[in-house]
A = this chain, B = another copy of it.
Amino acid sequence: MEQNSRLEAASLTPGTVRPGGRTAKVRAAVLEATQEALIEGGFHALNLDRVAARAGVGKTTVYRRWGSAAGLVADLLRDMAEQSVPAADTGSLEGDLLANARLVHRTLTDPRMGPVFQAVIAAAACDEECARALNGFYATRIRAWAPCVERAAGRGDVPVGTDAGEVVRAVSAPLYYRFAVSREPLHEADAVRAAAVAVTAAKAGSFTRN
């Protein structure tokens, strides 16, 4: 669902930039700086001047290309969406959805990625461009994991006509509910339960399209 490969790459090898020309390097540096700023201060403290300074990029470039804090967050989300992590393929729906639930749990409780997700959810609640970018990010992740459910339908483990996207959403939803809505601690047991509930309901046909 989520991934933090860019973040991990950045923290393991500071100063590394992804391949590409000058424009790609500037973007990488600015998005790294944006992410660091979100981790430290959240969306409402995100400041273009400080992002530019941290990225070692001219302010004019940052203002011209991203325009606003919301523009930075939206582009960070597009970048995160592009960096796909392959979905699990364990051979069973139980195994695949548990892998998904554990990945979401790990991401949201990660001391660096947790604050990033708090910040992008806040940004989406404040700004329409960020909301669209966050929608795009999850649409990409849902599409990536839907084949787990489609394979289960092919094996006859869930009814034909099961809405794969809805099953994938059902795994994430209880974890995000605690994380961003009811603001309760997230435990690994919550991930295990989320996967089990989704599997049980999917097998019983609760996710078939009407």
Contact = CB atoms under 8 A, between A and B. Distances in A.
Chain A interface mostly helix, strand, loop or mixed? helix
A183 B132 contact: yes
Contact of A181 (B44, B119, B176, B210): B176
A65 B142 CA distance: 45
A85 interface: no
Tell me which of A170, A196, A198 has the highest count of chain B C-beta atoms within 10 A of its own C-beta: A170
Interface residues of A, number: 42
A195 to B, nearest CB: 10
Contact of A173 (B119, B126, B176): B176
A98 interface: no
Nearest to A208: B193
Nearest to A210: B189
B182 A180 contact: no
Nearest to A41: B126
A93 to B, nearest CB: 14
A172 B177 contact: yes
A122 B126 contact: yes
A181 to B, nearest CB: 5
A184 B193 CA distance: 24
A45 to B, nearest CB: 9
Contact of A197 (B122, B178, B183, B207): B207
A54 interface: no
A174 B198 CA distance: 11
A101 interface: no
A134 interface: yes
A53 interface: no
Which are the 10 A-B pairs with shortest beta-carbon distances? A122-B125, A173-B177, A138-B182, A173-B173, A135-B183, A197-B201, A173-B174, A197-B206, A176-B181, A118-B125
